[in-house]
Structure 1
Amino acid sequence: MAKNINVDTKSIGQRIREEREKLNLTREEFAEIIDLSDYYVGQLERGERQMSLPVLINVANCLHVSLDYLIFGKSPNNEYYVHDSVSNYSTLNSSKNAEINSLLEKCSPKELDLIIKFIKVILPYLGTN
């Protein structure tokens, strides 16, 4: 016999909002990345809607968090995720550091903000987390 499980959509939505804000993404930017309307994302963040499993997976990947964390508020085995971990940037060899710094020095503050957002968005698709 199946056991009924209550899903706490408000807590899930709160975690989605917190993680989105950690990435400095607006609701509109986040919605565009995961191919949903910002209205629907707002409903999810307020706990007014439940999402399908594919949407939940897409949200978790975009936010760099586990499904366990989104659903239950905890990560299995205390795993770390991109926004929690210490940057590996300092471990790159010095020639790569110099090349990256040289490129970034040529950017305006607005371009740097865009680069930061871009990096945060593509990381889950690179298999680095």
Structure 2
Amino acid sequence: MSDLSKLIGERLRIARKEKGLSQEELGSYSDLHPTYIGQLERGEKNITLETLDKILSSLGIELNEFFSFSFLDEDLVIYQIVNRLKKLSNNDLQLILKMLGNH
């Protein structure tokens, strides 16, 4: 899936957890299967605007609020860093560790 699907999925996961809901509870509230919620959160499925609206309504979040999240949001920054690190070679990772002072 695309980086956008993964980013939206991660944002959904963060929003769900902030509300203290399990995937099963969110699925029940939004009339969606919990497995589908998990697939969306992992970025395995593309989400339609209608489905996103349904989920966000269940979370009590406005569509514009959801998309106004800052890329400086700590969880999203960590997510982006980890995804980029996963794509690097072992040599590149060693170089980064060296630059960070962790020989």
Which interval holds the TM-score relative to the shorter structure? 0.5 to 0.7
CA RMSD in angstroms comes to 2.0
Deviation at 1:72, TM superposition (A): 5.9
Flag structure 2 segments of 5+ consecutive residues without an equivalent: 71-103
User: Any stretches of 5+ residues in structure 1 without a counterpart?
Assistant: 1-5, 75-129
Q: Give, in whole Å, the separation in 2 of the partners of 1:53 and 1:66.
A: 12
> TM-score, normalization: structure 1?
0.47
TM-score under structure 2 normalisation? 0.58
1:45 pairs, out of 23, 41, 53, with: 41
| Deviation of 1:71 (Å) | 4.4
1:12, 1:70 within 8 Å by CA — same for their partners in 2? no
Q: Do 1:10 and 1:45's aligned partners in 2 also have CA atoms closer than 8 Å? A: yes
2:51 matches 1:55: yes
Partner of 2:62: 66
Query: How many angstroms does 1:44 deviate by?
Result: 0.2
Whichever structure has more helix as a proportion of its residues is 2
Offset of residue 23 of structure 1? 1.0
CA offsets 1:33-73 (integer angstroms, 9 cap, x no match): 10111111000000111122211111121222232443463
- Structure of higher CA gyration radius: 1
Taking the aligned partners of 2:8 and 2:38, their CA distance within structure 1 comes to 12
